[in-house]
C-alpha cells in the first residue's frame, strides 16, 4: 500500500469517527484525489485533515468540513446544487460525485481557470461554472434544492434564500470576524425558513460586490 493510500484510509476513518455517517459522502471524499487540488508545495499534506493555502490568499477547506457540509446538504443523485466560492474546486468535485448537477461561482478568474482544468482532468461533466459575485446567486438556474457557501458572510444573502426551492437546504458560515463564525443550515419549509446552527467554523470572508468594485474599496 502506498503512503498516500494509507493516509487516505486514516483520514476516512477519522471522518467516520467524527460523525460523517453518509456512505455516499465518505465514498466521494475517498474518490476525489485531493492531491490534484492542493498547491504543489503542500502535496505531502494533501490527505491530512487540515485546510491549506491556495492562490489569491484563499484556502482549500479541511476535509472534515467539506464532508460535514456535504452531508448537511442532504444530497441525492437527483439534487441540483449551487456552490458559492469555487476556490480550488475540491468541494465542487466532491458535490459532483454525490449530486446530479453542480453550479459553482467564483469571483477570481485565475482560481476558476485552474479549477476548470481539474474538473476536465477528472471528467466531471456535471459541473457548471460562472465567474462573478456569489451574493447574487444564479437566478437563471433557480430554484436549487441545495446551496452551499464556502466563505463566511455577516448575514445570510437574501438572493440565496430566494433561490432555495421548497424543502431546500442552504448551508453557510455566518459571522463577521474570522474567529467567530457559526455554520448554519437554513431550510425552506411550508411555514417559512427554519434556521439551525450546526458547528463553529473558520472561513475566509465572502467578499461583497464584483472584483473591480471591491478592488477600489
Q: Which residues bind to ligand SAH, rule: CB under 6 A?
A: 58-61, 84-85, 87-88, 90-91, 105-108, 111, 133-135, 150-151, 204, 206-207
Integer Cα distance of 66 and 53 in angstroms: 15
Say how many Å lie between the first and final Cα of the chain, rounded: 51
Q: Which is nearer to ligand SAH, 50 or 189 (CB)?
A: 50
Q: Which is nearer to ligand SAH, 109 or 167 (CB)?
A: 109
Q: Active site includes 23? A: no
- The SS3 of residue 28 is helix
| Residue 40, C-beta contacts closer than 8 angstroms, at least 6 positions apart | none
Beta strands in the chain (DSSP E): 52-53, 59-60, 80-84, 101-106, 127-131, 144-149, 164-174, 181-189, 192-201
Q: Grid coordinates 485546510 are at which residue?
A: 51
Taking the complex as a whole, how short is the minimal distance between the CB of residue 137 and ligand SAH, in angstroms? 10
Q: Which is nearer to ligand SAH, 137 or 168 (CB)?
A: 137
Of the candidates 2, 14, 23, 61, the residue annotated as catalytic is: 61
Taking the complex as a whole, how short is the minimal distance between the CB of residue 192 and ligand SAH, in angstroms? 26
Taking the complex as a whole, how short is the minimal distance between the CB of residue 44 and ligand SAH, in angstroms? 18
For the chain, helix, strand, coil in percent to 5 are 40, 25, 35
Q: Which is nearer to ligand SAH, 40 or 194 (CB)?
A: 40
Taking the complex as a whole, how short is the minimal distance between the CB of residue 90 and ligand SAH, in angstroms? 4
Active-site annotation, residues:
61
Amino acid at each position: 500500500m502506498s503512503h498516500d493510500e494509507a493516509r487516505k484510509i486514516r483520514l476516512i476513518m477519522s471522518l467516520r469517527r467524527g460523525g460523517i455517517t453518509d456512505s455516499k459522502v465518505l465514498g466521494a471524499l475517498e474518490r476525489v484525489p485531493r492531491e490534484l487540488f492542493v498547491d504543489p508545495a503542500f502535496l505531502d499534506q494533501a490527505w491530512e485533515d487540515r485546510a491549506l493555502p491556495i492562490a489569491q490568499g484563499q484556502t482549500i477547506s479541511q476535509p472534515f468540513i467539506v464532508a460535514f457540509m456535504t452531508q448537511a446538504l442532504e444530497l441525492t443523485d437527483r439534487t441540483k446544487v449551487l456552490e458559492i466560492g469555487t476556490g480550488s474546486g475540491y468541494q465542487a468535485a466532491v458535490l459532483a460525485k454525490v449530486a446530479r448537477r453542480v453550479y459553482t461561482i467564483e469571483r477570481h478568474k485565475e482560481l476558476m481557470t485552474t479549477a476548470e482544468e481539474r474538473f476536465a482532468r477528472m471528467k466531471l461533466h456535471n459541473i457548471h461554472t460562472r465567474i462573478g459575485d456569489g451574493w447574487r446567486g444564479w437566478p437563471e438556474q433557480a430554484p436549487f434544492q441545495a446551496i452551499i457557501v464556502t466563505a463566511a458572510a455577516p448575514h445570510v444573502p437574501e438572493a440565496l434564500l430566494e433561490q432555495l426551492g421548497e424543502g431546500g437546504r442552504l448551508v453557510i458560515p455566518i459571522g463577521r470576524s474570522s474567529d467567530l463564525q457559526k455554520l448554519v443550515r437554513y431550510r425552506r419549509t411550508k411555514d417559512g425558513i427554519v434556521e439551525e446552527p450546526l458547528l463553529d467554523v473558520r472561513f475566509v470572508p465572502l467578499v461583497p460586490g464584483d472584483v473591480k468594485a471591491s478592488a477600489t474599496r
